[in-house]
Amino acid sequence: MVSYPPPDYEHVDDEMIKMEVNLDDISGEWLGYVMDVLFEAGANDVFYTPIYMKKNRPGILLQLLCPRKDMDKMKEILLKETTTFGIRYYPLTVHRMERNFVKVETEWGPSVTVKQGVYNGEVVQRSPEYEDCKAIAEQFDVPLKEVYERVWRKVE
């Protein structure tokens, strides 16, 4: 395994914002589009949760995390690209583990990048990059699950 690129050291970020909107009249296609636009604009995370709203209407809770400096940009996207009439937002502190990236050679030839989460100097999380594993699975007609399993064995 070869280290790649330099680690992103553990830190606490107290300049984050969590934003959320309730949506009850928006299509799944629009939600996917909005998620892409929010990520492209700098959101750290975007996620949806099914909810029930007034009069027992089914809806979606869209939540996102972003740096405080990007809050106005996110507000504009939410107001222009969704059906919401208002936005809730909260200051948030995020503790991020140190992240290292290693390349793992596979028996199929191409390597897979594995993200490692380091806490107090110990690797406590490992996550093979999906796109690398997917490319191997498709190119060599191997189940994606098998690619992941073999990569995990090599990084333990």
Flag whether pLDDT at 1 surpasses 70: no
Residue 155's CB is within 10 A of a number of other CB atoms, namely 15
Return d(Cα 60, Cα 119) in angstroms, integer.
Answer: 34
Residue 39 is assigned to a structural domain of this protein: yes
Residue 8 is assigned to a structural domain of this protein: no
Residue 4 is assigned to a structural domain of this protein: no
Contact status, residue 129 vs residue 112, Cβ threshold 8 Å: yes
Q: What is the number of domains present in the chain?
A: 2
Flag whether pLDDT at 4 surpasses 80: no
Query: What's the residue count for the chain?
Result: 156
Average pLDDT over residues 128-139: 96
% of the chain beyond a pLDDT of 90: 76
Contact status, residue 90 vs residue 81, Cβ threshold 8 Å: no
Return d(Cα 4, Cα 115) in angstroms, integer.
Answer: 10
- Give me the CATH number covering residue 126: 3.10.20.300
- pLDDT tens-digit readout, 80-108: 999 999 999 999 988 888 888 999 999 99
Tell me, yes or no, whether 85 and 142 share the same domain.
no
Tell if the pTM clears 0.75, that is, is over it.
Answer: no
Tell me, yes or no, whether 62 and 127 share the same domain.
no
What is the extent of the structural domain holding 73? 13-94
